[in-house]
Amino acid sequence: MIRSNSTLLLSLLIASLGLFGSSSWLPAAETLDESVVKAEAERVKIMAGASRCGVSIFADGGTNGGSGVLISADGYALTNFHVTKPCGDWMKCGLSDGSLHNAVIVGYDPVGDVALIKLMGRTDFPFAPLADSDKVVVGEWVFCVGNPFLLADDFQPTITYGIVSGVHRYQYPAGTLLEYADCIQTDAAINPGNSGGPLFNMRGEVIGINGRGSFEKRGRVNVGVGYAISINQIKHFMGALKAGRIVDHATLGATVASSDDGRVLVSDILEDSDAYRRGLRYGDEVVEFGGRPISTVNAFKNALGIFPRDWATSLTYRREGKKQSIWVRLTGVHGAEELLQKVLGRPQPQPGQPQPDDHPQPEGEPKKQPAPPKQPPTKGPAAAKKAPMPDEVKPFFEARRGYANFHFNKANRTRVYNALVARGDFAALKGTWKLTGDVVPAGEATFEIADDFVNTSLPGGELKLNVTKELNDAVEPRGSGGLLAALHAWRRLLTAGPEKFGDLVYLGMLPVADESRGPVDVLKGAYAGVETFFFVESESGRLLKVALYLSPDDDPCELLWSDYAEYQGRLLPRTLKVRYGDLIFGVYRFRELTLATGGQ
């Protein structure tokens, strides 16, 4: 290495001394260090590969647009919500090979400014792998693939190159819905039109989605400070995005502030929050959240801002010198209706018209750019009318209030349910289900579950729940949070199926209980006035947990099923642990499961 560099220097020196005559003082190309040539060739290769995964997104008419990146062979692509918003339910996407594809909106996260779309027409799209963005370090070389100023008439993306300037950056909401938490800062040029495009590491993996810059007084062009939404944050939202949802971000139900001595203390807490029920109180010092040490308010906001609503994670607090770790369920920042109002409340902007204030000034969508040289001509009001949805797109779109695209929700609901019944169909078993077994550590337990009642015989006595009306008061047995109602919901899901359960939707992927296992698919059902979450490990077809909420402000009754085994031709759990809040209500080992068909 030193040797070859010395050779280079030597030739430089000799050349500059004029020993090679006056023709040239530059080193000839062949004197370049082999490693330099190799590194450049490698870089060219990686950027070429990344370019193929880049997507140029155009709103109808091509007057609006941005960038995106393909992340699967079947055409899923990530971009910014503020890019897809003016496009509506579908859009045109160009790839670097010059092909133009229809794409449909799948889901979006309006707070985090992320949207998932799906391109049509191929099942073998080139796609980019996703990195572990927590491993990104400052000084690392990175590059953007995108369509700044909508330059790419031939959809050949533009590459901009730079380094990571900062990680775990928190960018305050600019008076809007948008909040960029835990983002990656880069000096690679991010200009209007780059929005939604990927930020790549030098292994060709996506580390983030470019979305925002610090612009302020210099107009809306790059000032060397761009921000990318970390891909790890997007991974947390991916399940919910694929669910066709309009996903909200999470809140702890508590706020924190710095104390004079620099500690992060709980400055306010809602008494109906899960964190409060788990023991967190005003004045407690938050020392860890979501597996990250918390030393500043920004660190807490970063750790929280990467999670969707309904996520659950660990929190460690310190009170009077003693540390305590809890597992907390997070709720939505907004009410469901509130979020919709903020996202959809105002009339959709016409392309070419000024945007509503919904968007922060400092982001890069091309409308407010100071007249780039190759901007497509602005269409008149007639041309601004949205063309009808192409036939190719129609089968992949279903409108439903509260959803970006309910088609994808139904598709995933079917997928998860099919996984659940892949090793045992329960549709015919509409009779009484009888579970008999032992209470751990001692005693006998029997549960009889039917369409209209649930009976139980436990060491404490016998109980019966009639399921004829709303279940909100079905707290039986006392201290269980609604065990009988939860068992009813469990049987109902398996026998009634997704269509007849009630209102059953696919929620996405959420953690089950602790960090020992990754997130699993979750179905959420509503019937008889209660909400039930079903946690399904789709690969194995196991239902891991049923969580029934008699009231949204109370702990759920959780049925934790385990010891799955083949039983009379079906995969069934043999152990049930019932938890209510921090208490284990009971553990049951079943010897006999009788699932009767028809009548009673």
Partner 1 sequence: MRSVVTLVVLLALVTPLTAAPLTSVIPQVQPKQVKIYGAGGYRGLEAYQSGSLISATGHVLTVWSYVLDTDFITVTLHDGRKFEGKLLAADPRLDIAVLKIEAQNLPHFELAKAPLVEAGTRVLAFSNLYGVATGDEPVSVQRGVISVRSRLHARRGVYETPFKGQAYILDAMTNNPGAAGGALTDYDGRLLGILGKELRNSQNNTWLNYAIPIPEAAKTIEDIVAGKYVNVPTEDVASKPKQPLSLELLGIQLVPDVLPRTPPYIDRIMPGSPAASTGLRPDDLVLFINGRLTAACATVRTELEYIDRIDPVSVTVLRNQELIDVQLRASADANP
Determine, following the binding rule CB under 8 A, whether residue 287 of this chain makes contact with partner 1.
no
C-beta of residue 185 within 8 angstroms of C-beta of residue 207: no
| Catalytic residue of the set 56, 82, 101, 109 | 82
C-beta of residue 169 within 8 angstroms of C-beta of residue 227: yes
Q: How far is the CB of 143 from partner 1 (least distance, A)?
A: 13
By the 10 Å C-beta count (0-12 exposed, 13-18 middle, 19+ buried), 376 is classed as middle
- As given in the structure block, the two tokens for residue 450 are 């039917």
- Beta-carbon count within 10 A of 268 CB: 10
Determine, following the binding rule CB under 8 A, whether residue 203 of this chain makes contact with partner 1.
no
Q: How far apart are the first and last CA of the chain?
A: 83
Contacting residues for 147 by C-beta, under 8 A, at least 6 apart: 54, 56, 57, 65, 66, 67, 155, 157, 158, 193, 194, 197
Per-residue mark of binding to partner 1, 289-328 (x: CB under 8 A): ------xx-x------------------------------
Nearer to partner 1, 176 or 185 (CB): 185
Contacting residues for 461 by C-beta, under 8 A, at least 6 apart: none
Nearer to partner 1, 77 or 183 (CB): 183
CA distances from 523 to 274, 534, 542 (A): 21, 5, 13
DSSP state letter for 379 = P
Determine, following the binding rule CB under 8 A, whether residue 347 of this chain makes contact with partner 1.
no
Which residue from 342, 344, 348 is spatially nearest to 64, judged by alpha carbons? 348
Determine, following the binding rule CB under 8 A, whether residue 230 of this chain makes contact with partner 1.
no
With CB under 8 A as the contact rule, the residue among 176, 194, 222, 405 that binds partner 1 is 222
480 catalytically annotated:
no
With CB under 8 A as the contact rule, the residue among 5, 35, 72, 325 that binds partner 1 is 5
Determine, following the binding rule CB under 8 A, whether residue 371 of this chain makes contact with partner 1.
no
With CB under 8 A as the contact rule, the residue among 203, 218, 322, 374 that binds partner 1 is 218
With CB under 8 A as the contact rule, the residue among 14, 44, 73, 428 that binds partner 1 is 14
- As given in the structure block, the two tokens for residue 583 are 């208490």
Options 116-124, 210-218, 445-453, 508-516: segment touching partner 1 (CB under 8 A): 210-218
Which residue from 232, 216, 234 is spatially nearest to 224, judged by alpha carbons? 216
Determine, following the binding rule CB under 8 A, whether residue 29 of this chain makes contact with partner 1.
no
Options 109-117, 192-200, 209-217, 523-531: segment touching partner 1 (CB under 8 A): 209-217
C-beta of residue 184 within 8 angstroms of C-beta of residue 133: yes
Q: How far is the CB of 517 from partner 1 (least distance, A)?
A: 32
Options 211-219, 236-244, 322-330, 407-415: segment touching partner 1 (CB under 8 A): 211-219
Which residue from 229, 288, 233 is spatially nearest to 263, judged by alpha carbons? 288
Q: How far is the CB of 223 from partner 1 (least distance, A)?
A: 5
| Catalytic residue of the set 60, 109, 113, 274 | 113
Size of the site for partner 1 (CB under 8 A): 36
195 catalytically annotated:
yes
What's the chain's length in residues? 600
Q: What is the dihedral of CA 323, 325, 329, 334, to 10 degrees?
A: 30
Q: How far is the CB of 187 from partner 1 (least distance, A)?
A: 4
Strands (E), 51-99: 54-58, 65-70, 76-79, 90-95
Which residue from 209, 266, 225, 223 is spatially nearest to 84, judged by alpha carbons? 209
Options 133-141, 342-350, 471-479, 581-589: segment touching partner 1 (CB under 8 A): 133-141
Q: Which of residues 141-160 bind partner 1 (CB under 8 A)?
A: 141
Q: Give residue 1's Cα distance to chain centre.
A: 45
Per-residue mark of binding to partner 1, 157-186 (x: CB under 8 A): -----xx-xx-xx---------------x-
C-beta of residue 146 within 8 angstroms of C-beta of residue 50: no
Determine, following the binding rule CB under 8 A, whether residue 257 of this chain makes contact with partner 1.
no
- In whole angstroms, what is the distance from residue 505 CA to residue 526 CA? 9
82 catalytically annotated:
yes
Determine, following the binding rule CB under 8 A, whether residue 73 of this chain makes contact with partner 1.
no
Options 10-18, 240-248, 456-464, 587-595: segment touching partner 1 (CB under 8 A): 10-18
Determine, following the binding rule CB under 8 A, whether residue 448 of this chain makes contact with partner 1.
no
- As given in the structure block, the two tokens for residue 49 are 């590969």
Residues noted as catalytic = 82, 113, 195
Residue numbers of the site for partner 1 (CB under 8 A)?
A: 1-2, 5-6, 9-10, 13-14, 17, 137-141, 162-163, 165-166, 168-169, 185, 187, 214, 216-219, 222-225, 258, 262, 295-296, 298
